Structures are given as structure tokens and as C-alpha cells.
Structure 1
Amino acid sequence: MPTSTPAAVRTRVRIPLRFADGYSVTAEVVTFHGLVDGAEHIALVLGGRTGGTPLVRLHSECLTGDVFGSARCDCGPQLREAVARIDGAGGVLLYLRQEGRGIGLYNKLDAYALQDAGLDTYQANTALGLPEDARDYTPAVQMLAALGVAELDLLTNNPDKARQLRELGITVAETVPTGVHATPDNLRYLHAKAAHTHHTIALSDLAHVAG
């Protein structure tokens, strides 16, 4: 996805956030003009960072996990973890409108039906004629540039995020793994991410859930 003109900050507003477990925090929510894909991505600026390298997470929207608490993925717990860790360290959470690794909500639910028939999360996408992962992080880089972030510590288990950011000119000083949020319902999903796309998820951490 080619970058055209730089993005610019559109609005900044402080919003008190409260999660289902009672955790609360106030974030500065930032919107943007000029994002290359035209989507309504937002940034949550968290913590009182006065210096040092910011901690950043690129979090792809997951309606089922983030809003409804679906246990088929680990997205909701990762979002909750990321907000707390970034607030403690100081940094930014980019909330990217990339449902279903970029294939959209309806296609993701179609893929779930294929997973129920035995395919893994990546096989289901390709069976629908869709990319395994359609996400392009060019808009994320535009957002970071508009916020003045050129170097960061990246909170992720996904090596593709660090690779794309580096290729797009961001300095990733350190990759910081998230926790492993395993449930009986997402074990196949987590195993597929570790085995197929080399997410930094220790399969040994999943054994106690499987047992």
C-alpha cells in the first residue's frame, strides 16, 4: 500500500476507559486526516511518558473478542493487557480497523464456520479465496509519524508486525511479547499462530489448558 501525503492529527480527546474486570484508565484518543487506506483508525496515547522509548501495540479490531468477549481468540485479553502495560510504561496503542486479519467481519465469521469443519484459521481464509493475513501497516506508520514516534518498543507476538514496521522506516528497538491467553476454545487458534506464522507463543504454555 503506497504512502501518499503524510497523515495529520485531526482530533485529540481524553476518554476514561473501563474494562469488564473493573480496570480503568484515561486515554488520549487521537484521530487522523490523510490515512492512506481511508479507514477510521485511532490511537490511544497512554501513560505519562517523559522520555525513553515508547511502548507501542498495533491492535487489530476484533468485534467478537474485544466487545463480546469471544473465547475463540485471544484478542480481548491482549487488548486489556496492552492498555495496562502501555499505561505503565508510557506509549501508544494503535487500534486498527482490520477485522479478521484484514478480511472483514462477515468473512471472519464465514472462516469460523470452516474452522468448525476442521480447518485452521489460515486454511479457512485461503479456502474462502482470501489472504491468510491481509493487513498492511502503512497507515500505522503514518499515525506514528503524525504522533512524532520514529522509534519504539513493539508489544507483540507477531514477527510480521516488526518486519513491516522496519521495512516502512520505523526503528523497532525491542520486541516485547504479550502474555499467553489460552482457553480450551482458542487452543487450535494459538497453535496455528505459533506453528504457521511463528508467533512467539511457547506451545509448552498451552499444555496445561489442553490437559
Structure 2
Amino acid sequence: MRDTVQGRDLPTATVRTRVPVPLRFGDGYAVDAELVTFHGLTDGREHLAVVLGTPAAGTVPLVRLHSECLTGDVFGSARCDCGPQLREAVERIAERGGVLLYLRQEGRGIGLYNKLDAYALQDEGLDTYAANAALGLPEDARDYAPAAQMLEALGIGALDLLSNNPDKAAQLRGLGLDVQSRVPTGVFATEHNVPYLRAKVLQTQHTLPLPELPGQQRWSSTA
């Protein structure tokens, strides 16, 4: 596979290990998954594929690229929507059949410590992207070439992408994947993360309709 975005050849990644793991969430939701590790990813990081369900015949898998967020995924931070998005994605992908790629790209690729430095600047009034810039860091340093390698190793060439972020779809298409449609996630707004969500809409054109009133809004599979 060739990366036509940045003009570099991508080596072929291979599956290292497949392990069945039952997943259990704090709200009681449970599902059986298969966790997949890889050899040969370009950035050398330990990215993980979470295979959930089986797509119906004649349909493409539902795929989410989920960037690691220790504060949101593990500690339940209300400053972002990452934890609720992860929980939503697992259930929606399990129902449809597909894969969640858990990518080790903390803080949109800048790392945990830098992310917390950026949080401190956000508390002084900067938005999430301006805070990164003030630290001399990219607004978004994520490269989805390893995700393309992982999908290729899993035999996935065509997919529907569960994401509000147009850059994810653009990068995957540039890397040779057939992203047939982009499926929006739910909106998980709280009084703490509305400025963060608004910045994503205004700065990077996320397709994210924000509610007028903050407060936790759970996703609905029928919405």
C-alpha cells in the first residue's frame, strides 16, 4: 500500500496475536471481543484492534479510529467526550460488525504531559487548538498510516467510518481505503466540555451538532 498523502511507501503490517477478551463497562454493558496486535506498524507504537461482531453478508464493516485518552477513557474526565464515544462505539460496532482501532495517540498525538500542559492554558482562556500552538506543538499531530496498515492486515479495504472528523476519512482515502460513508457519533456535551466541542466544530469542521443546553446527552441508536 502506498501513502499518497505524504508520498512514502508503507510496509505491509501483519497480525501478531489474536486474543478473545470479554469486555465489561461500568454501566453494565458487556460484549465479547477479539483483540488483535500487529507487527510492522510504521510508528512502532502498540496500537490495538478490537474486533466486534460480524458484518452481514454484502455489507462493509463499521470502523472507528479511537485515539487513546487516558483522562477520558480511564478516569472519566468530563473535559472531553472521549470516554462516552468509546463506550458508544463499542456497542454500535458490535451490533453492526466491525473494528475499533485503539490508537496510542494521546492528546491528538502530542502525548499525555503536553496534553495536560495544554489543559492549563485552556483554563486561561485558550481553546484546545490554540493551546497546542502556544506550546509550539501541532494542532493535530495524528497520522493514520498505522490505521491503514492495521485495516489492510485485517483484510478490510472498504468500510463505513464512525466519526465526526472529516480528516480521518480524508487520510484513510488518501491511503487507499474505500471509505464508503462517514457515520456520525452521538453528542456527549457537558457543562465542562462544550468549549472543547465547539472548538472542534469551528476549527476542524467536525460534523457535531451541539445542543443548546449543556448536560450529559446519551447517544441513541435510533436517533
By how many angstroms is 1:5 displaced?
Answer: 1.9
Mapped to 2, the partners of 1:149 and 1:16 lie a distance apart of 23
User: What amino acid is aligned across from residue 30 of structure 2 in structure 1?
Assistant: S
Q: Is 1:164 aligned with 2:171?
A: yes
User: Which ranges in structure 1 are unaligned for 5 or more consecutive residues?
Assistant: none
What residue is the counterpart of 2:48 in the other structure? 42
Question: How does the TM-score come out when normalised to structure 2?
Answer: 0.91
Mapped to 2, the partners of 1:200 and 1:182 lie a distance apart of 14
Mapped to 2, the partners of 1:182 and 1:56 lie a distance apart of 23
Q: Is 1:89 aligned with 2:96?
A: yes
Number of residue equivalences = 208
What residue is the counterpart of 2:19 in the other structure? 13
What residue is the counterpart of 1:208 in the other structure? 213
What residue is the counterpart of 1:98 in the other structure? 105
User: What amino acid is aligned across from residue 53 of structure 1 in structure 2?
Assistant: V
Question: Which of 140, 145, 148 is residue 155 of structure 2 equivalent to?
Answer: 148
Cα separation, partners in 2 of 1:34 and 1:74, compared to 1, 3 Å: same
Question: Which of 44, 60, 78 is residue 71 of structure 1 equivalent to?
Answer: 78
Report if aligned partners of 1:3, 1:36 keep a CA contact under 8 Å in 2.
Answer: no
User: Which ranges in structure 2 are unaligned for 5 or more consecutive residues?
Assistant: 1-5, 216-223
By how many angstroms is 1:49 displaced?
Answer: 2.4
Query: What CA RMSD, in Å, does the superposition of the two structures yield over aligned residues?
Result: 1.0
Extract structure 1 runs of 4+ deviating beyond 6 A: none
Mapped to 2, the partners of 1:22 and 1:143 lie a distance apart of 30
Report if aligned partners of 1:3, 1:138 keep a CA contact under 8 Å in 2.
Answer: no
Question: How does the TM-score come out when normalised to structure 1?
Answer: 0.96
Report if aligned partners of 1:56, 1:94 keep a CA contact under 8 Å in 2.
Answer: yes
Mapped to 1, the partners of 2:195 and 2:173 lie a distance apart of 30
What residue is the counterpart of 2:132 in the other structure? 125
Q: Is 1:135 aligned with 2:139?
A: no
Mapped to 2, the partners of 1:169 and 1:56 lie a distance apart of 15
By how many angstroms is 1:202 displaced?
Answer: 1.2
SS where residue 148 of structure 1 aligns? coil
User: What amino acid is aligned across from residue 151 of structure 1 in structure 2?
Assistant: A
By how many angstroms is 1:190 displaced?
Answer: 0.3
By how many angstroms is 1:3 displaced?
Answer: 4.0
User: What amino acid is aligned across from residue 16 of structure 1 in structure 2?
Assistant: P
What residue is the counterpart of 2:3 in the other structure? none
Mapped to 1, the partners of 2:39 and 2:92 lie a distance apart of 28
What residue is the counterpart of 1:184 in the other structure? 191
Mapped to 2, the partners of 1:4 and 1:202 lie a distance apart of 36
Residue by residue, what CA displacement relative to the aligned partner does 1:53-84 show, whole Å, maximum 9, x if unpaired? 10000000000000000000000000000000
Mapped to 1, the partners of 2:16 and 2:32 lie a distance apart of 19
Q: Percent identity?
A: 71
